[in-house]
């Protein structure tokens, strides 16, 4: 008896039917259990098993038998006590009542749009309905269903939930696949994946061969990837007439999608929720006796903007604002703040402890309100962890015998996830701090109280200034209603909105789709790598096409950085960038860091730029915090300061002093941990695409060459560049497009009046009143000459023209000549490498 290795096991299994009907010579017995497969032969050889290709009839027979077996297993499960309970739960969901309508719509139409209240069972039930109807059909489980989710965590938690509902192990019939992780077996017929994974699969398999159903979930979120996928799928449908596309959405904008797909039918699942009482900021203060003090007002939820909005609100609405709010807000008198303070005020800053009101409110609920879980909507996991830390020290909210405090965000561990769904013991109040993931993707049934900060972190993009920002911004009315609805699933609920009614009135009705509010560079690269033709033509076929200017900016940018050539084709660099799922500028740094053998610090820079700024600037300790950051700087670079801060933390953490180190240096522990894990993730990505081998010694040879690091940072951040103009005592900064710009006050370069280099490359510019630069590194002429722009064949002239604008003053004919020859040498070097 031999145990077969997994690859062969699969082959044997595929041809099982054949072997049974035409037993190969020498094979005596064949047995298979779920975990292994054994064959006894005369010689003990399994070479003999090389395929006799199975006939179509044999395949059908196998599939049919398999389906019979699956049906049988499900029947047994559904009759077990647990299975019966699960079936009872499933059939109580609103989606269950619409099962027949949904299945017949899918049978008769290539595209179907399904909408229904969050929690009605779209995500967990509909894929199962399709799966079950296929298994029970005459032809058996020929189906191969792919269901996309906007986030990793939902792909993982939903597939796990469905496996539990079916009494199976994850990876049997139901599996998932997300970046760098997956659980999927040969019997998997229903696969949950992130939208990005399906897009990547389309790269290799343009017709989605073998896939019978594609379900795109949460389309109401209008994420960029989802909008992009819809264009690709719309093109695919005529080529694959038997493929079924099902779109699922929480809110009722189904018509938009229906008309996009030529009037595809819509099925609505009617839901039921209990009434929820709404308390705006003014009511909260009245109800709980909370006083806004000047300190509390300078809080993260953008009181400044709130104040501005209340000014802009129509007169009659203003009368509704309880005068206390307005008085208190006025007292803070934001007009007197300097431009830089205003800027930091409007940015999210957890350490100025604007969580006072939430803490107060949670304590109030714990002490005075009826039992029921509390769901708090915050903007991101950094804020969640800071608030959690703060609450843990609270005498009431932090008392673990009374309160179960949980976090819910995209990157949490799966054990933690389970606790979120479970009902706690009697007498214990569950409090879940969540990002807007709990708005529609995850449903926590026992929530009775919702606290809504009114914001979500979203990227916005100003095409005119070509300036992207990732900042918490006000949510839309639809989102606010959705958040409120989370409180009424099991009984009437309460929703506390941490903003006055006039602010709510000023909210937009819907949120703009992501494709209209973010830079399109990565999307354009993806379009090119999928060989989808002209970028602007392709994007003009989107559900809502982005502005012409935004598309042109993105293409122009990609040409400047050398990812696209003049004819909009991918360069070698561009091709590598499409394999790195991050902003192209960060991808460029990683690639060059790997080529020039100084990956270690560059991994830290790239990871640090992918998380929130690890350097914290508490309002009341601004000077101390900035001084602490300055210690890490010796070389006029915020990026290198990040590297040193991280390396220091690594050493301290090894001696279990990581927390103390962060506290002393005004660093965020969460960011440090995130950087640490991202570094590993990025490293394995580079390994996957063959840019590093597994010898960590060689890839770090030049890690301590500060000039080289500067060059790599410049290579990534170009054309994010400004010139440093020295005056008598200080300096001013200018970019070609914006003229005068300012440094964000916590930049190490803002502290020094003499920067010994003529240029700063920067990571990001943010427009508030003036334009502020965040994270900069000073670079010399030669670095800019050699590393600014893309190093790719053929773009030399265009690149020189671009640089010429900056270098008008510096570019002596001799320099230009030197540049040309150096550049050529470098280009040759890169080619041979
Ligand atoms: O997708 P939709 O919002 O319509 O609902 P769903 O995610 O399919 O969830 C249906 C029901 O299953 C909800 O009542 C959830 O509370 C429950 N569920 C659960 O108990 N555990 C999970 N991991 C996922 C869903
Ligand atoms: Mg769902």
Q: Of the given ranges (31-40, 238-247, 501-510), which has the lowest mean pLDDT?
A: 31-40
- In the 3-class helix/strand/coil scheme, how is 31-88 assigned residue by residue? EECCCCEEEEECCCCCHHHCCCCCCHHHHHHHHHHHHHHHHHHHHHHHHCHHHHHHHH
> 683: which residues sit within 8 A by CB, 6+ positions away?
599, 603, 692
74: its two tokens: 């499900």
Between the CA of 620 and the centroid of ligand 1 the distance, in Å, is 43
The alpha-carbon radius of gyration of the chain (Å, integer) is: 29
Question: Do 321 and 299 contact (CB within 8 A), yes or no?
Answer: no
Cα-to-centroid distance, 237 and ligand 1 (Å):
30
Distance from the alpha carbon of residue 176 to the mean position of ligand 1, in angstroms? 17
Assess contact for 113 and 254: CB atoms under 8 A. Answer: yes
Average pLDDT over residues 643-668: 91
Tell me how far apart the alpha carbons of residues 196 and 229 are, in angstroms, rounded to a whole number: 9
Mean pLDDT of the residues in the chain: 79
Residue 637, C-beta contacts closer than 8 angstroms, at least 6 positions apart: 710, 713, 748, 749, 776, 777, 778
In this prediction the ipTM stands at: 0.99
Ligand nearest to the CA of 117: 1
Name the region of 290 (left: φ>0; alpha: ψ -120 to 50; beta: rest).
beta
- Comparing 22-31, 91-100, 326-335, the range with the smallest average pLDDT is 326-335
Query: What is the mean pLDDT of the segment spanning 485-495?
Result: 91
Helices (H), 561-598: 572-578, 584-595
Q: Which atom of ligand 1 is nearest to the CA of 489?
A: 14
Nearest-angstrom CA–CA distance, 58 and 678: 48
Ligand 1 pocket member 128 (CB < 6 A): no
Nearest residue (CA) to ligand 1, atom 7: 123
CB 524, CB 555: distance < 8 Å:
yes
Q: Convert the pLDDT of each residue in 299-330 to its tens digit.
A: 433 444 454 444 444 443 333 333 434 443 43
pTM: 0.73
Which pair of tokens denotes residue 144? Answer: 């191969």
Report how far ligand 2's centroid is from the alpha carbon of 241 (Å).
Answer: 27
Place of tokens 């019966």: 84
Query: pLDDT tens digit string along 727-771?
Result: 888 888 888 778 888 998 888 998 877 888 888 999 888 776 678
Per-residue pLDDT of 220-260, as tens digits, reads 888 889 999 999 999 999 999 999 999 998 876 788 899 99
First CA to last CA across the chain, in angstroms?
50
Q: Give residue 440 CA to ligand 2 midpoint distance, Å.
A: 6
Span from the CA of 124 to the centroid of ligand 2 (angstroms): 7
For 627, the token pair is 């001084």
Spatial contact of 349 and 323, defined as CB atoms under 8 Å apart: no
- What is the DSSP pairing of strand 213-216 with strand 447-452? unpaired
Q: How far apart are CA 358 and CA 464, in angstroms?
A: 37
User: Could you tell me if 592 and 586 are in contact, meaning their C-beta atoms sit under 8 angstroms apart?
Assistant: no
What angle (nearest 5°) sits at the alpha carbon of residue 431, between those of residues 430 and 434? 135
CA angle 546, 551, 552 (to 5 degrees): 145
Is 60 exceeded by the pLDDT of residue 11?
no
Cα–Cα dist 266/270, whole Å: 13
Q: What percent of the chain has pLDDT over 70?
A: 76
Sign of CA dihedral 698, 704, 710, 711: negative
Our answer on whether the CB atom of 121 is closer than 6 Å to any ligand 1 atom is: yes
Other beta carbons within 10 angstroms of residue 633's beta carbon come to 20
Q: Is the CB of 443 under 6 A from ligand 1?
A: yes
The residue to mutate among 86, 124, 215, 248, having the most atoms of ligand 1 within 8 angstroms of its beta carbon, is 124
How many CB atoms within 10 Å of residue 714?
A: 27
Neighbours of ion ligand 2 (CB under 5 A): 122-123
CA of 128, nearest ligand number: 1
């Amino acid at each position: 008896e031999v145990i077969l290795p997994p690859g062969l096991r699969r082959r044997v299994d595929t041809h099982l039917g054949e072997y049974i009907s035409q037993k190969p010579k020498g094979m005596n017995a064949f047995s298979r259990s779920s975990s292994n497969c054994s064959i006894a032969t005369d010689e003990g050889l399994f070479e003999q098993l090389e395929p006799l290709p199975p006939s179509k009839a044999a395949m059908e027979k196998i599939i049919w038998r398999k389906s019979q077996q699956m049906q049988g297993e499900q029947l047994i499960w559904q009759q077990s006590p647990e299975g019966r309970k699960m079936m009872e739960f499933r059939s109580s969901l609103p989606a269950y009542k619409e099962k027949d309508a949904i299945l017949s719509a899918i049978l008769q139409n290539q595209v179907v749009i399904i909408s229904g209240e969050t929690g009605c069972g779209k995500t967990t039930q509909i894929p199962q309905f399709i799966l079950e109807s296929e298994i029970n059909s005459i032809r058996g489980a020929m189906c191969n269903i792919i269901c996309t989710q906007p986030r990793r965590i939902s792909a993982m938690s939903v597939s796990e939930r469905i496996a539990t509902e079916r009494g199976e192990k994850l990876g049997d019939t139901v599996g998932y696949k997300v970046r760098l992780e997956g659980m999927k077996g040969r019997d998997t017929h229903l696969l949950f994946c992130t939208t990005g994974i399906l897009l990547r699969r389309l790269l290799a398999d343009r017709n989605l061969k073998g896939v019978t159903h594609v379900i795109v979930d949460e389309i109401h979120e209008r994420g960029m990837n989802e909008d992009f996928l819809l264009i690709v799928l719309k093109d695919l449908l005529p080529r694959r007439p038997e493929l079924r596309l099902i779109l699922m959405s929480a809110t009722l904008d189904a018509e938009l999608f229906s008309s996009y797909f030529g009037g595809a039918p819509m099925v609505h699942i009617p839901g039921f929720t209990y009434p929820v009482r709404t308390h705006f900021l003014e009511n909260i203060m009245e109800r709980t006796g909370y006083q806004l003090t000047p300190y509390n007002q300078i809080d993260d939820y953008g009181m400044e903007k709130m104040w501005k909005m209340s000014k802009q609100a129509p007169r009659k609405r203003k009368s509704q604002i309880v005068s206390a709010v307005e008085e208190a807000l006025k007292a803070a008198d934001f007009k007197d703040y300097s431009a830089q303070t205003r800027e930091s005020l409007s940015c999210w800053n957890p350490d100025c402890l604007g969580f006072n009101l939430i803490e107060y409110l949670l304590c109030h609920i714990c002490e005075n309100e009826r039992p029921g879980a509390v769901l708090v909507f915050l903007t991101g996991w950094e804020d969640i962890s800071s608030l959690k830390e703060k609450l843990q020290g609270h005498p009431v909210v932090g008392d673990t015998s009374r309160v179960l405090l949980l976090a819910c965000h995209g990157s949490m561990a799966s054990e933690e996830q389970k606790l979120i769904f479970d009902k706690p013991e009697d007498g214990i109040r569950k409090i879940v701090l969540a990002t807007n993931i709990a708005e529609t993707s995850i449903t926590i049934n026992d929530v009775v109280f919702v606290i809504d900060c009114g914001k979500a972190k979203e990227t916005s993009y100003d095409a005119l200034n070509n300036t992207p920002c990732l900042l918490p911004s006000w949510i839309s009315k639809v989102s606010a209603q959705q958040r409120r609805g989370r409180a009424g699933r099991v009984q009437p609920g309460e929703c506390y909105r941490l903003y006055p009614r006039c602010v709510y009135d000023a909210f937009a009705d819907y949120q703009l789709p992501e494709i209209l509010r973010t830079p399109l560079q990565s999307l354009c690269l993806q379009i090119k790598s999928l060989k989808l033709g002209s970028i602007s033509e392709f994007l003009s076929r989107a559900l809502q096409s982005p502005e012409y200017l935004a598309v042109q900016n993105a293409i122009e940018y990609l040409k400047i950085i050398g990812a696209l050539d003049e004819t909009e084709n991918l360069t070698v660099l561009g091709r590598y960038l499409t394999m790195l799922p991050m902003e192209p500028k960060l991808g460029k740094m990683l690639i060059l860091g790997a080529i020039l053998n100084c990956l270690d610090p560059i991994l830290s820079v790239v990871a640090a730029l992918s998380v929130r700024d690890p350097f914290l600037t508490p309002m009341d300790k601004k000077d101390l915090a900035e001084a602490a950051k300055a210690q890490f700087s010796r070389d006029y670079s915020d990026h290198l300061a990040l590297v040193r801060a991280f390396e220091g933390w690594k050493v301290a953490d090894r001696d279990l002093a990581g927390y103390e180190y962060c506290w002393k240096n005004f660093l965020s522990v969460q960011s440090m941990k995130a950087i640490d894990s991202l570094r590993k993730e990025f490293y394995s990505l580079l390994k996957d695409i063959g840019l590093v081998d597994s010898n960590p010694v060689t890839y770090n040879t030049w890690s301590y060459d500060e000039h080289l690091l500067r060059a790599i940072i410049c290579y990534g951040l170009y054309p994010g560049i400004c010139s440093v103009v020295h005056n008598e005592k200080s300096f001013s900064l200018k970019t070609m497009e914006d003229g005068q710009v300012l440094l964000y006050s916590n930049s190490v370069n803002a502290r020094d009046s003499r920067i010994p280099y003529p240029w700063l490359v920067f990571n990001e510019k943010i427009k508030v009143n003036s334009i502020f630069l965040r994270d900069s590194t000073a670079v010399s002429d030669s670095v800019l000459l050699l590393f600014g722009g893309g190093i790719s064949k053929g773009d030399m002239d265009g690149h020189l023209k671009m640089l010429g604008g900056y270098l008008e003053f510096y570019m002596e004919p001799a320099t230009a000549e030197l540049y040309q020859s150096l550049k050529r040498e470098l280009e040759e070097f890169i080619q041979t490498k």
